[in-house]
Amino acid sequence: MSIGKVLIVDDQIARATALADFLADKGFQVQIVADVSSYAHSLRDDSELDVILCELDLKDFSWVEARHSLRAMDVKVPLIVFCDEAEVDKIMTAMKLGARDFFLRPLEDKSLLVKSIERCVRQRNMRRDLQESRERLEAANIELRGTVKTLEQDQQAGRQVQLRMLPVSPMVLNDYVFSHTVIPSLYLSGDFTDYFTVGTSHVIFFMADVSGHGSSSAFATVLLKNLFARKRSDYMRRNDDAIMNPLVMLHHANKELLDLGLDKFATMVVGLLDMHGNTLRYTIAGHLPLPVLVCDAGARYLEGEGSTVGMMEDVEYEEHLLQLPDTFTLGVFSDGILEILPPDNLIEKEKYFLKKFEQNADSPRQLVADLGLNRLEPAPDDIAALFLTKSG
């Protein structure tokens, strides 16, 4: 098996043949060219040759004049030059030709020539390996760009589907107004909110903040959306009142996420508004920040605690009943809002957040602008906001 391909350029055939026989015995594959001007094969990176052994003193040929033509040929094959005399101008010519090595005749130690050739072969093989690696990398990059483009298209399509799942904003029911804002950190969001009427006097709403980002988290929000839609349908068709009980709905949500098997959990706020009695029944599952109620008496966080949904089977939740003021604004945010608030620690962030609510009690839209949410896309973390307001 050949350990390298060698081209010998020499117009003295007997001398070239003797050198070729010697190198062939050493395992090299050798080709001889007597007339260099007639050689038309590629000497670029794609050449099969590993090294050129070139006689500097060729009859009727000037390497000085040929340098420009060689430069145009973009020769990449290593060159070893032979010469009968070590004259300065010949050595300079060899250097200008890009010679890797220079040997004087007669060759007293041919093992040095073999080592020089082997060095050139190794360099050529390294260049080939590098070129192959570069080509594989370019092919992988092209494939990766195609995959990324497909994923982006899928994410964009999924984002449009998720946006269409959101409720109408604003939804006006007499003195009550529901509205929302959702800003994803990626195309798809793990934060979701929904609200809808049940019967003539009740409205169910929830906020879910699913762990993680991207498609799997967004899929979990679809699951929760579907759960509440199913239970609403069960209430109207089967007289199943689970949808009217925030505590029961949290237990259903917990089971659904566990059965999903994606290792996803979520913090949630579930509320039931009774418009006739102006009351709110709600329950909280590990959600931060807590819902904020703003009225004439000021701004405060609602009470509530409980385990997140989707982490364990045996969980306990608390249900609260709140008599609402005649006029108020209730706001529920996902924890992504805490990422963009200026203070450094959680306690100060919660104080700052409460103050912003109090300053913009009459206008959720102004609160969104004051917090900078209308200029923040994408966000460092998913951010969802749900507002319920009641005017006098």
**CATH 3.60.40.10 segments of the chain:** 166-390
Q: What pLDDT, on the 0 to 100 scale, is given for residue 386?
A: 94
Q: Let me know if domain 5-134 sits in CATH 3.40.462.40.
A: no
In angstroms, the Cα distances linking 109 to 64, 85, 103, 105, 117 are 29, 17, 10, 10, 13
Contact 249, 258 (CB under 8 A): no
Rounded percentage of the chain residues whose pLDDT exceeds 90: 38
Confidence of residue 211 (pLDDT cuts 50, 70, 90): confident
Q: What is the 3-state secondary structure (H, E, C) of the chain?
A: CCCCEEEEECCCHHHHHHHHHHHHHCCCEEEEECCHHHCCCCCCCCCCCCEEEEECCCCCCCHHHHHHHHHHHCCCCCEEEEECCCCHHHHHHHHHCCEEEEEECCCCCHHHHHHHHHHHHHHHHHHHHHHHHHHHHHHHHHHHHHHHHHHHHHHHHHHHHHHHHCCCCCEEECCEEEEEEEECCCCCCCEEEEEEEECCCEEEEEEEEECCCHHHHHHHHHHHHHHHHHHHHHHHHHCCHHHHCHHHHHHHHHHHHHHHCCCCCEEEEEEEEECCCCEEEEEEECCCCCCEEEECCEEEECCCCECCECCCCCCCECEEEEECCCCEEEEEECCHHHHHCCCCCHHHHHHHHHHHHHHCCCCHHHHHHHCCHHHCCCCCCCEEEEEEEECC
Confidence of residue 185 (pLDDT cuts 50, 70, 90): low
In angstroms, the Cα distances linking 347 to 288, 293, 341, 350 are 12, 18, 11, 5
pLDDT tops 70 at residue 343? yes
Confidence of residue 214 (pLDDT cuts 50, 70, 90): confident
Q: What pLDDT, on the 0 to 100 scale, is given for residue 306?
A: 87
Confidence of residue 269 (pLDDT cuts 50, 70, 90): very high
Confidence of residue 92 (pLDDT cuts 50, 70, 90): confident
Mean pLDDT of 233-245: 92
* Separation between Cα atoms, residue 376 and residue 384, nearest integer Å: 12
Query: pLDDT digit string (tens) for 98-113?
Result: 788 888 888 888 999 9
Q: Let me know if domain 166-390 sits in CATH 3.40.50.2000.
A: no
Q: What pLDDT, on the 0 to 100 scale, is given for residue 34?
A: 84
**More confidently predicted of 62 and 269:** 269
Mean pLDDT of 312-319: 90
Query: pLDDT digit string (tens) for 68-79?
Result: 555 555 567 888
pLDDT tops 90 at residue 272? yes
Q: What pLDDT, on the 0 to 100 scale, is given for residue 70?
A: 58
Q: Is the bond preceding 378 in cis, omega lying within 30 degrees of 0?
A: yes
* Separation between Cα atoms, residue 287 and residue 338, nearest integer Å: 12
Confidence of residue 337 (pLDDT cuts 50, 70, 90): confident
Q: How far, in whole angstroms, is CA 99 from its chain's centroid?
A: 47
pLDDT tops 60 at residue 66? no
**CATH 3.40.50.2300 segments of the chain:** 5-134
Mean pLDDT of 160-189: 83
Residues 6+ apart with CB under 8 A from 291: 269, 271, 282, 284, 301, 302, 304, 330, 331, 332
Q: What pLDDT, on the 0 to 100 scale, is given for residue 158?
A: 67
Rounded percentage of the chain residues whose pLDDT exceeds 70: 89
Q: What pLDDT, on the 0 to 100 scale, is given for residue 227?
A: 94
Mean pLDDT of 257-269: 89
Highest mean pLDDT among 124-133, 174-183, 279-288: 279-288
Size of the chain in residues: 392
Query: pLDDT digit string (tens) for 113-124?
Result: 999 999 999 988
pLDDT tops 60 at residue 379? no
Query: pLDDT digit string (tens) for 299-310?
Result: 899 998 889 999
Mean pLDDT of 261-288: 94
Confidence of residue 296 (pLDDT cuts 50, 70, 90): confident
Mean pLDDT of 381-385: 80
pTM listed for this prediction: 0.65
Query: pLDDT digit string (tens) for 127-161?
Result: 888 888 998 999 999 888 888 787 777 767 667 77
